[in-house]
Amino acid sequence: MRKLYYDGKIVTMDGQKICDALGVEDGKIVFAGTAADAGLQAWDEKECLNGRLVLPAFTDTHMHVLHYAMLQEELNLYGTDALEKMIAMGKEKVQSGASYVFGMGWNQEVFENPVFPQKEDMDKISGDIPVIMLRTCGHIAVVNSKALEMIRNMDIAPDVMANVNFEKGWLKESAMRLYMSLIPKRDAAYIQKLFLSAQKKLNRYGIAAVHSDDMASIPGTTWRDVVEAMTKLDQENQMTVHLREQCLVFDANGEFENFVRETKELRAHPGKYFEIGPRKLLQDGSLGAKSACMIHGYADDPDNHGIPTYTDDELYQQIKEADRQQMDVAVHAIGDLAVQKVIDALEKVIGESDRPSHMHGIVHAQFVTEEDMARMAALGIQAYIQPIFINSDLAILDQRVLPEYQSEGYAWKSLQEAGILTSGGSDCPVEFFDPLKNIYTAVARKSLSGGGAFAPNEALSVYDAVRLFTSSAAKAGGHAHDRGMIKENYAADFVVIDKDIFETDPERGERHKDGGWRIYGLPSMTICPKIMGYLEKKIHLILKKDNLNWRGLSFLCYLQKNIK
């Protein structure tokens, strides 16, 4: 069926081209131009957009989709404003008969009394079952005495054990993942359930694709379980979100070599919705946990330069092995020292490589010196950035970073002007994946709760901010040829928004509020579940009637009125 959409403000993201009509057929865009030119063609159906804004569907280039979905079944501590509330939530879980307590999202900086939780606090929840609470950044956890007792009885590598603070009950960096051995093991069927749950929510926010780090996040599972689960969903046509895996596969006992060998066919011939992306590595921690590697230390802890994951040579060897296997890398680096070390290693590997091209990248690139920006551009290293981090980090920036070095941080505009490919992500569940809030923080440079703008000279235009989640995101995943723009022969995945975000003024606080900028066909999560269920049934009926499906045209909808 050929369908024409007309009388819209269609920002194609193909350069500065704006048109007022687009046509779709069989899940592809077959026309993007003027309504007058469209009128010269035959269409089976037409729909008026009533002047609303149309954008390509969004892509989030760094998140943890399975971890996010798992957290919805555990304790969600995001927004908890007191340690006492966190303890009360844990006790309630124990009273429900739980065999363990696992939660994520606490942030001592927003507590009424900003103290870092310790094992004695977790012991108040339970002394009989393990209690594990991950900080919002995912780089440190606080556990109770029972969990520490279980850890003591494990066969753990000395370098990992060094990151366990038995006195305070803290698991830092590599030790944080010990929680996976403290709670029940899951399987591939559970992974499928998690993804199907998450993709519904992603769709509702206009997200058509994600780059996700999932292979070492679900207890009792391995990369094989993730590959098996997602390949099965893809083959059974159950996926409505394209998934590009950022593959965190640890190299113990030759496991990365096994991974490369067993996924060779999938890497050469990706599925329709599931594909293997770069090798994921981590070089430092987070700003909030004071484990990000900083050249000049921390303002409130000047002798602390963070916790590096690898030595210089180890990092080089990890990247070298990926390159030898024809894989790019996406390396987590937040601090300027970590970024510098990653560039050093990449520079050496790229110089030695016989590969004709590469798409290596740095995940976060939160603090980057001017010199290292130039090196990234010269080497073709991309940056997977998270503008939404400004929302949380502004509250701790002065404590963590000396004033004279703050200009190195969150310098999204400088990265783009240096010629570095930048794409946008949320790092969900660290921050929620709403693309419009991410776009807002990239433009306004301020917290979602208001306040002053940080380094407004680094503010992106709305167009450049939208690019992060559309055309640039598609390019970051090797899909510049078929996604991320409203263009003939590209996927017909797009969103329609009632409020023209190109005409808002961030300084007046005209930012996205849930339910304010309605995404066409993907109603806001603020709608109550009963209404949401009713709407989803109606949408399915309409799609069935019109012989459509959730793929290709998956983000089109016929709801014409705002939902209040």
> What pLDDT digit, counting tens, does each position of 234-251 carry?
999 999 999 999 999 987
Query: Measured between alpha carbons, how far is 275 from 244 in angstroms, rounded to an integer?
Result: 5
Phi-psi region of 451 (alpha: psi -120 to 50; beta: other; left: phi over 0): left
Q: pLDDT band for 505, please (50, 70, 90 cuts).
A: low
Res. 529: pLDDT tops 70: no
Residue 526 has pLDDT above 60, yes or no: no
Q: Lowest mean pLDDT: which of 107-121, 374-388, 541-555?
A: 541-555
pLDDT at 417 over 70: yes
Tokens of 236: 């059974």
Q: Please report which confidence band the pLDDT of residue 507 belongs to, taking 50, 70 and 90 as the band edges.
A: very low
For the cut 80, the answer to whether the pLDDT of residue 522 exceeds it is no
Could you give the CA distance from residue 561 to residue 564 in angstroms, rounded to a whole number? 9
pLDDT score, position 559:
28
**Percent of the chain with pLDDT strictly greater than 70:** 89
Q: Mean of the per-residue pLDDT values for the chain? A: 88
Amino acid 428: pLDDT: 95
Instruction: With beta carbons less than 8 A apart as the criterion, state whether 132 and 100 touch.
Output: yes
pLDDT digits (tens, 9 = 90+) for 105-117: 898 988 989 899 9
Tokens of 198: 């998450």
Residue appearing with tokens 């998140």: 63
| pLDDT value, residue 438 | 95
Long-range CB contacts (< 8 A, 24+ apart) of 116-120? 116/142, 116/168, 117/83, 117/86, 117/142, 118/142, 118/168, 118/169, 118/170, 119/143, 119/144, 119/145, 119/148, 119/168, 119/169, 120/169
How large is the average pLDDT for residues 165-171?
Answer: 95
pLDDT surpasses 80 at 320: yes
In the prediction, which pLDDT does 179 show? Answer: 85
pTM of the model: 0.85
Quick one: average pLDDT of 528-545? 37
**Confidence label for 563 from pLDDT (cuts 50, 70 and 90):** very low
Q: Is the pLDDT of residue 547 over 80?
A: no
Give the model's confidence band at 403: pLDDT under 50 very low, under 70 low, under 90 confident, else very high. Answer: very high
Is there a contact between 506 and 443 (Cβ–Cβ < 8 Å)?
Answer: yes
Helix (H, G, I), strand (E, B) or coil at 45: strand
Burial track 505-540 (b if 16+ CB lie within 10 A, e otherwise): ebeeebbbeeeebbbbbbbbeebeeeebeebeeebe
pLDDT at 488 over 60: yes
Judge contact between 47 and 4, C-beta under 8 A: yes
Give the up-direction half-sphere exposure of residue 344: CA atoms within 13 A in the CB hemisphere.
16
Query: Rounded to an integer, what distance in angstroms lies between the CA atom of residue 544 and that of residue 554?
Result: 12
Residue 535 has pLDDT above 60, yes or no: no
- Amino acid, res. 288: G
Query: Which candidate, 465, 461, 417, 418, places its Cα nearest to that of 438?
Result: 465
| pLDDT average, residue stretch 216-231 | 93
The pLDDT, as a whole number, for residue 503 is 86
What mean pLDDT comes out for the span 541-557?
34
Total Cβ atoms within 10 A of residue 492 = 24
Backbone angles phi, psi at 447, to 5 degrees: -65, 155
- Least confident span in 64-78, 283-297, 539-553: 539-553
CA distance 515 to 345: 45
DSSP strands (E only) in 188-345: 207-212, 242-247, 274-282, 329-333
Q: Is the pLDDT score of 546 beyond 60?
A: no
Beta carbons of 129 and 94 less than 8 angstroms apart: yes
How high is the pLDDT of residue 532? 39
Omega cis (within 30) before 429:
yes
